[in-house]
Structure 1
């Protein structure tokens, strides 16, 4: 990811459920190893969020109520995959800085 993060936009410490899950730990580790890679860690971000949305749905945070531009869009969608994509969007905030997590 390479860019400098501000003090208020640092990577959050993932919640305990992620550390208790072997698959989450594997994805977090891959993400950490690729974080400063010039090619980025986009794939690792996607896979981590997908895993959380599919395997830990009760731990996915609720809709962002603080002016998130994407949550209202996802809430209006009614296609079959909208729920999973929206859950991935919300899950990214568990392990990514908000400025990056809310880009998709």
Structure 2
């Protein structure tokens, strides 16, 4: 990421289910490798969130009830695309700092 290291919030430790999944571990390692790259790690974040939403839907966190401007908008949408994107949005809380995870 391109944030000032002194201002970047600490990344959460991913939950145990992610360490038990070879694909999650691979994606987390890719994310870590690109975290401080000048181009950032947005693509790696998307890949990781998509994998969690598709392969581990039971582990996707519930709707954010506070401090999230996006969840109410996703909740109003009824199409399958919105449901998938919303699950990816919520999954980002598992491996990204909350302030960054809730940007998309």
TM bin, normalised by shorter chain, reads over 0.9
TM-score by length of 2: 0.94
Q: In the alignment, which residue of structure 2 is the partner of 1:11?
A: 11
- CA pair 90-22 structure 1, distance change in 2 beyond 3 A: same
1:64 aligned onto 2:69:
no
The unaligned stretches of length 5 or more in structure 1 are none
Partner of 2:54: helix, strand, or coil? Answer: helix
**Range with bigger deviation, 90-99 or 76-85:** 76-85
Segments ≥4 residues shifted beyond 2 Å? 4-7
Following superposition, the deviation at residue 59 of structure 1 comes to 0.2
Distance 1:62 1:91 in 2: 9
- Give the superposed CA RMSD: 1.2
1:1-104 to 2 correspondences below 5 Å: 1-3=1-3, 4=5, 6=7, 9-104=9-104
TM-score by length of 1: 0.94
Following superposition, the deviation at residue 79 of structure 1 comes to 1.8
- CA pair 82-33 structure 1, distance change in 2 beyond 3 A: same
**Range with bigger deviation, 74-83 or 26-35:** 74-83
**Range with bigger deviation, 55-64 or 65-74:** 65-74
The unaligned stretches of length 5 or more in structure 2 are none
